[in-house]
């Protein structure tokens, strides 16, 4: 795919090239990966760097970064190794000595302190810099240990919220040795915060002093892309982002068998599809991760979309997220995952929930396009929408997007679509892009699916 960067993307790439220490705090979906990879390519071409280590969350390290390298034409030929999996697999990847090595953040301590391999990377990219916010964590201490040997370092993350200001100290301690926010957390805390919740002399939490946020941002401004993407985008703008996920071979086989035979056995429950419309619904359910059997019970297929949803919410870094689901079992499974992660959420189904969203009180709001697609003004509460499951209805799709992407929106709207590769999701996304009529697109796509073979 040809890369035609937005102005802010070219600006950010040049910023990384011109600053040996760079914090790129852009919202997820705005292209932090391709921005950084483009900068890396130019730095390789000028012999400014020789070896780059990319540190990322596991699924992002394993899937996203390799996909980004393969996706763009201008990155063709960039050699890389993915150091995830068993210790043997990680060592083998690192010993390939490729220009780019990608590793998950959980293995940073292993690489530096336990692998026995030399740390010879002259550039480090930390995807999700916020994962280094804990100065007591092993990964933080390990990376700080080798920081003097790193010539260039890039920190990538979403826009920090006011609740995350305390976390910035560790993140920038890794980047600049403490030059801007101080070498010690106690000095940082005394300079910019005051006790919040306390019991006598015991302080449980801190809150920023008046104007502390501006003061902190001013301190780090010379090595940091602005906190808000609006500074680099002509507003209003809407960024459409397709996020692929893939089933395992066994999971894909269940989907393919059902698509071909229109009948599949799942836990001894027979599910059949009598016509193209019903089949498309079943295939969409399976792409999302579960499917109803004849008794109305949801049978689990996979959790790939739930895993990606978790990553996207983390990548939003505290900014409110609106999640659009389609099937009831999607809602149930999403709620279960959010409860496990202890992430506060609500369902957009009452006037009170709408008011709470617009006040910024709900980190994750779950909505169904059929009940929230028309007439609701939600732009005050956030600017990020995640489509967990897609709909054939162009009207509902456009109307749901318009809840955030509308006049009065102060931020760049980012719309993520979690697309399950090798499924009907791809056909629905293509149909929405082409703005075809719902029913004809549905039937054509189902016919195409029935004709496909693994």
pLDDT at 36 over 80: yes
The answer to whether 56 and 64 are in contact (CB under 8 A) is yes
pLDDT digits (tens, 9 = 90+) for 268-309: 555 554 566 778 888 999 999 999 887 888 899 999 999 999
d(CA 308, CA 305): 5
Name which of 12-26, 99-113, 222-236, 247-261 the model is least confident about: 222-236
Name which of 202-206, 225-229, 305-309 the model is least confident about: 225-229
Give me the mean pLDDT over the 137-147 stretch: 96
What mean pLDDT, rounded, does the chain reach? 85
d(CA 98, CA 78): 9
pTM: predicted TM-score of the whole model, two decimal places: 0.63
d(CA 437, CA 444): 11
The answer to whether 326 and 390 are in contact (CB under 8 A) is yes
Q: Give the contacts of 296 (CB within 8 A, at least 6 positions apart).
A: none
Q: Output the pLDDT for position 185.
A: 93
Retrieve residue 339's tokens. 């409860």
Q: List the beta strands (DSSP E) in 246-327.
A: 263-266, 269-272, 290-292, 298-300, 321-324
Q: Output the pLDDT for position 275.
A: 64
Q: Output the pLDDT for position 449.
A: 35
What is the share, in percent, of the chain residues with pLDDT greater than 90? Answer: 54
Reported confidence tier of residue 164, pLDDT bands at 50, 70, 90: low
Neighbours of 291 (CB within 10 A): 26
Element (H, E) at 171: helix 168-176
Q: Give the contacts of 257 (CB within 8 A, at least 6 positions apart).
A: 264
Name which of 8-17, 131-140, 354-363, 392-401 the model is least confident about: 392-401
d(CA 346, CA 354): 10
Q: Output the pLDDT for position 55.
A: 97
pLDDT at 370 over 90: no
The answer to whether 44 and 74 are in contact (CB under 8 A) is no
255: nearest Cα among 307, 298, 301: 301
* CA dihedral sign, ordered 14, 19, 25, 29: positive
The answer to whether 365 and 345 are in contact (CB under 8 A) is yes
User: With left for phi above 0 and alpha for psi between -120 and 50, is residue 262 left, alpha or beta?
Assistant: left
Number of H helices, E strands in the chain: 19, 20
pLDDT digits (tens, 9 = 90+) for 173-185: 999 999 999 999 9
Question: Please, what are the domains in the chain?
Answer: 7-226 (3.40.50.10810), 238-244+302-451 (3.40.50.300)
CA–CA distances in Å: residue 19 to residues 13, 64, 78: 10, 25, 22
């Amino acid at each position: 795919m040809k890369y035609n960067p937005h102005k802010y993307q070219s600006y950010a790439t040049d910023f990384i090239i011109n600053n040996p220490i760079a914090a790129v705090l852009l919202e997820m979906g705005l292209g932090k990966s391709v921005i950084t990879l483009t900068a890396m390519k130019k730095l390789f071409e000028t012999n400014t760097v020789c070896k780059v280590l990319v540190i990322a969350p596991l699924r992002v390290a394993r899937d996203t970064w390799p996909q980004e390298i393969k996706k763009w034409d201008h990155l063709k030929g960039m050699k890389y190794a993915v150091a995830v999996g068993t210790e043997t697999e990680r060592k083998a990847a690192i010993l390939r000595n490729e220009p780019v090595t990608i590793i998950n953040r959980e293995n940073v301590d292993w690489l530096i302190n336990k692998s026995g391999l030399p740390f010879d990377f002259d550039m480090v990219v930390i995807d999700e810099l916020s994962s280094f916010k804990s100065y007591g964590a092993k990964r933080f201490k390990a990376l700080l240990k080798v920081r003097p040997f790193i010539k260039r370092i890039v920190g990538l993350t979403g826009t920090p919220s006011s609740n995350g200001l305390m976390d910035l100290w560790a993140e920038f301690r890794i980047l600049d040795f403490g030059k801007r926010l101080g070498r010690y957390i106690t000095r940082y805390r005394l300079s910019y915060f005051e006790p919040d919740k306390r019991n006598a002399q015991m302080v449980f939490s801190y809150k920023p002093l008046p104007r502390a946020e501006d003061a902190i941002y001013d301190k780090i401004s010379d090595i940091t892309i602005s906190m808000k993407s609006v500074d680099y985008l002509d507003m209003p703008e809407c960024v459409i982002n397709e996020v692929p996920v893939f089933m395992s071979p066994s999971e894909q086989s269940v989907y393919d068998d059902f698509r071909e035979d229109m009948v599949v056995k799942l836990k001894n429950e027979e599910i059949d599809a009598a016509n193209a419309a019903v089949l498309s619904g079943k295939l969409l359910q399976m792409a999302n991760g579960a499917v109803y059997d004849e008794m109305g019970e949801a049978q689990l297929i996979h959790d790939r979309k739930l895993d990606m949803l978790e990553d996207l919410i983390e990548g939003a870094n505290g900014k409110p997220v609106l999640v659009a689901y389609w099937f009831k079992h999607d809602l149930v499974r999403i709620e279960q995952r959010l409860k496990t992660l202890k992430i506060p959420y609500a369902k957009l189904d009452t006037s009170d929930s709408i008011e709470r969203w617009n006040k910024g009180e709900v980190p994750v709001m779950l909505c169904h396009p059929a009940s929230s697609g028309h007439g609701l003004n939600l732009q005050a509460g956030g600017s990020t929408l995640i489509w967990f499951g897609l709909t054939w209805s162009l009207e509902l799709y456009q109307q749901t997007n318009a809840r955030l992407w509308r006049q009065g929106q102060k931020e760049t709207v980012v719309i993520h679509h979690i697309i399950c590769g090798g499924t009907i999701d791809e056909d629905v996304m293509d149909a929405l892009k082409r703005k075809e009529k719902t029913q004809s697109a549905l039937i054509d796509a189902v016919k195409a699916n029935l004709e496909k073979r693994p």
